């Protein structure tokens, strides 16, 4: 069965940790694709508060019980 797992973090290091934790339990041959995206948004109420969203979607073949 093909499944997706979506991750969204405020910091790229947090996204990296979350992805690596998930990938550690998925056999490499079960990974179909990984999509990565960054979104940037300026906060209209503050001149120096830019918001970032680092996200990724892993498409994988689910076999057995993965998180």
pLDDT value of residue 66: 53
21-63: pLDDT as tens digits: 999 999 999 999 999 999 998 877 776 788 889 999 999 998 8
Q: What domains sit in the chain, N to C, each tagged with a CATH number?
A: 2-61 (3.30.1660)
9-16: Cβ within 8 A, 24+ apart: 9/53, 9/54, 9/55, 10/51, 10/52, 10/53, 10/54, 11/52, 11/54, 12/52, 12/54, 14/54, 15/54, 15/55, 15/56
pLDDT value of residue 63: 81
pTM of the model: 0.81
């Amino acid at each position: 069965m093909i499944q997706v797992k979506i991750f969204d973090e405020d910091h790229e290091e947090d996204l990296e940790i979350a992805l690596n934790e998930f990938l550690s339990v998925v056999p490499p041959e079960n990974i179909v694709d990984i999509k990565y995206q960054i979104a940037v948004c300026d906060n209209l109420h503050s001149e120096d508060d830019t918001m970032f969203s680092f996200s990724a979607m892993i498409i994988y073949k689910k076999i057995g019980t993965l998180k």
